[in-house]
């Protein structure tokens, strides 16, 4: 069965500092990996996705993530956080079929707090 682990429930970072959010996955085939962000009271916004090819993927809002198959990880990074990055971040894994994306399995999320 597929699963996603986000070991950090809550992370606090100073504005302007670098950020890394951890994600480990378990998936039986080639994984399709995603990071989503959810601001309070909002829906989920797709930050970036990995399907194949270059293991370092760039996303929106200055985020990037690196796929490491040997470690079953897909960590999210940002070199310098802004106060507007405060939100909940979800890592997800899924597959692909002839009917498109299969169901996503989400981690429990990491809440990011930014301090001045």
Partner 1 sequence: DSGVTQTPKHLITATGQRVTLRCSPRSGDLSVYWYQQSLDQGLQFLIQYYNGEERAKGNILERFSAQQFPDLHSELNLSSLELGDSALYFCASSHGDSTGGGQYFGAGTRLSVL
CA gyration radius, the chain: 14
- Compute the least distance from the CB of residue 110 to partner 1, in Å: 12
The nearer residue to partner 1, 101 or 113, going by C-beta atoms, is: 101
Beta bridge partners of 32: 94
The nearer residue to partner 1, 13 or 104, going by C-beta atoms, is: 104
In what helix (H) or strand (E) does residue 33 lie, and over which residues does it extend? Answer: strand 32-38
Q: What is the distance between the alpha carbons of residues 106 and 86, in angstroms, rounded to a whole number? A: 19
- Compute the least distance from the CB of residue 31 to partner 1, in Å: 11
> Locate tokens 């992370």: which residue?
11
- Compute the least distance from the CB of residue 83 to partner 1, in Å: 22
- Compute the least distance from the CB of residue 85 to partner 1, in Å: 19
The nearer residue to partner 1, 12 or 45, going by C-beta atoms, is: 45
Q: What is the distance between the alpha carbons of residues 24 and 76, in angstroms, rounded to a whole number? A: 11
3-state secondary structure at position 5: strand
Interface residue list for partner 1 (CB under 8 A): 32, 34, 36, 42-46, 49, 51, 90, 94, 96-106, 108-109
The nearer residue to partner 1, 43 or 115, going by C-beta atoms, is: 43
């Amino acid at each position: 069965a597929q699963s996603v682990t986000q070991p950090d429930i809550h992370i606090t970072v100073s504005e302007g500092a670098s950020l890394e959010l951890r994600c480990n996955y378990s998936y039986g085939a080639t994984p399709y990996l995603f990071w989503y962000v959810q601001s309070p009271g909002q829906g989920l916004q797709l930050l970036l996705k990995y399907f194949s090819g270059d293991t370092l993927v760039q996303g929106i809002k200055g985020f990037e993530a690196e796929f490491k198959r040997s470690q079953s990880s897909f960590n999210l990074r940002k070199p310098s956080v802004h106060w507007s990055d405060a939100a909940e971040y979800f890592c997800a894994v899924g597959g692909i079929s002839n009917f498109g994306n299969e169901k996503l399995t989400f981690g429990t999320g990491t809440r990011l707090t930014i301090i001045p």
